[in-house]
Amino acid sequence: MTLDSIMACCLSEEAKEARRINDEIERQLRRDKRDARRELKLLLLGTGESGKSTFIKQMRIIHGAGYSDEDKRSFTKLVYQNIFTSMQAMIRATETLKIPLKYEQSKNNSLLVREVDVEKVTTFEQPYISAIKQLWTDPGIQEAYDRRREYQLSDSTKYYLTDLDRIAESSYLPTQQDVLRVRIPTTGIIEYPFDLQSIIFRMVDVGGQRSE
């Protein structure tokens, strides 16, 4: 084999490799372009309590993987915190709106519940269980609940407080509905992707707004 033929062969191999690399790059560019057409980013805007985070959770349940038991377990303390937050809000409302508590034990129970630092709540135990259950039966608290449009109160309040026996069980594991009802002030950016009819939707909830 002559030197010229060897060089021609080498050049031919290099040309083939260059073409292979070029073809691979073009295929990747086509894939990226196709994938870009299949992905949509949705930015959720709205004031606090407008339901943005709840909507993302609904999409995760309906169109995504939902919540595993481990995921649900991480919401347990948040359910407890929501219960305390709601009851504290109604207790304050009875004072602001001049609504008297009817039962004598409600006064002591309201003091007990008001002293709780909600952010430190991780369990739901006695005597708080009994105190909150008793307060929920007081006509004064019920009136405060009925007048909830006059102050800020979570729309999940009645849902949780009417199901305290289940939530107070030591083996309690939040259901998907419990998770859906949890109110968590959004801070930072939360992004959740899900696939719907071969299109990837990336839902983005931007927290940290003043109303949040």
Q: Which of 20, 183, 195, 202 is catalytic?
A: 183
Mean pLDDT for back-to-back runs of 10 residues, the chain (212 residues): 56 73 78 66 64 68 74 94 98 97 96 96 96 98 97 95 96 93 71 68 62 42
Token code pair at residue 92: 């304050």
Q: Catalytic: 92?
A: no
- pLDDT at position 210 is 45
Contacts with 135 (C-beta within 8 Å, 6 or more apart), sequence order: 87, 90, 91, 106, 109, 110, 113, 141
Whether 153 is covered by a domain: the verdict is yes
138 is in an annotated binding site: no
Q: Catalytic: 49?
A: yes
Beta-carbon count within 10 A of 97 CB? 13
Nearest to residue 116, comparing CAs of 99, 140, 135, 101? 135
Q: Which of 134, 148, 209, 212 is catalytic?
A: 209
Gap between the Cα atoms of 32 and 34, Å rounded: 5
- pLDDT at position 149 is 95
Report how many domains make up the chain: 1
Whether 13 is covered by a domain: the verdict is no
Token code pair at residue 104: 């004598």
183 is in an annotated binding site: yes
Q: Which of 49, 143, 163, 212 is catalytic?
A: 49
Name the H helices within 97-175.
Answer: 104-114, 128-137, 139-146, 157-161, 164-167
Whether 44 is covered by a domain: the verdict is no
37 is in an annotated binding site: no
Whether 35 is covered by a domain: the verdict is no
Whether 9 is covered by a domain: the verdict is no
DSSP β-bridge partners for residue 190: 205
209 is in an annotated binding site: yes
Whether 113 is covered by a domain: the verdict is yes
Q: Catalytic: 176?
A: no
Whether 135 is covered by a domain: the verdict is yes
Q: Which of 54, 85, 94, 157 is catalytic?
A: 54
Whether 101 is covered by a domain: the verdict is yes
Stretch (H or E) spanning 49: none
Gap between the Cα atoms of 95 and 106, Å rounded: 13
Contacts with 96 (C-beta within 8 Å, 6 or more apart), sequence order: 151
Q: Catalytic: 197?
A: no
Beta-carbon count within 10 A of 89 CB? 17
- pLDDT at position 168 is 96
Strands 199-206 and 39-44: parallel
170 is in an annotated binding site: no
Contact 207/190 with Cβ under 8 angstroms?
A: yes
Token code pair at residue 5: 């033929």
Gap between the Cα atoms of 92 and 85, Å rounded: 11
- pLDDT at position 103 is 96
48 is in an annotated binding site: no
185 is in an annotated binding site: yes
For the entire predicted model, the pTM comes to 0.68
Domain span at residue 100? Answer: 76-173
CATH code (residue 109)? 1.10.400.10
Q: Which of 76, 138, 178, 205 is catalytic?
A: 205
- What does DSSP assign to residue 74? T
Q: Catalytic: 205?
A: yes
Token code pair at residue 174: 């939040």
For the packed helices 139-146 and 128-137, what is the interaxial angle rounded to 10 degrees? 70
- pLDDT at position 37 is 56
